[in-house]
Amino acid sequence: MPEPDVFSALANPVRREILMQLRKGPRAVNDLARSFELGRPAVSEHLQVLRKAHLVREEPRGRERYYHLDPRPLSEVDDWLKAFTHYWKQRLAALEDVLNEEARK
């Protein structure tokens, strides 16, 4: 039972696609399973990973469970990326300078 890790949760393309779909609104598990060529257990287990990473929230409705997106933990990834955004904008600016220098010749 590994701890909930947002980066690991995003490592799987199916889970990323689940999050994408949940943007448009909550979905039941069987409904999601039909979107992918996957059995229900597989989808259910992907949802468990997303749940442990607090990226989704479940809302029981009768015998179904609707899963809602909770994008807040994504800010951790965003923050991590910011440490590089600054760096790569510097790099891009430097590259641009070089290109301008070349063009001037």
Binding site for its own copies (CB under 8 A): 5, 7-8, 10-11, 13, 16, 19-20, 23, 69, 71-72, 74-75, 77-78, 80-81, 83-85, 87-88, 91
Binds 44, which of its own copies, DNA, none (CB < 5 to 8 A, cut-off by type)?
A: DNA
Nearer to its own copies, 10 or 28 (CB): 10
CA distance 73 to 50: 10
Question: Which residue spans within the chain are E strands per DSSP?
Answer: 27-28, 56-61, 64-69
Residues with Cβ within 8 Å of 30's Cβ and at least 6 positions away in sequence, in order, are 40, 64
Query: Which is nearer to DNA, 47 or 69 (by Cβ)?
Result: 47
- Distance in Å, CB of 100 to DNA, minimum: 34
Which H or E run contains 53? none
Choice between 40 and 86, CB closer to its own copies: 86
Residue 77 touches which member of DNA, its own copies, none, C-beta under 5-8 Å by kind? its own copies
CB of 37 to DNA, least distance (A): 7
Residue 41 structure tokens: 């257990």
Q: What is the dihedral of CA 71, 47, 5, 78, to 10 degrees?
A: -20
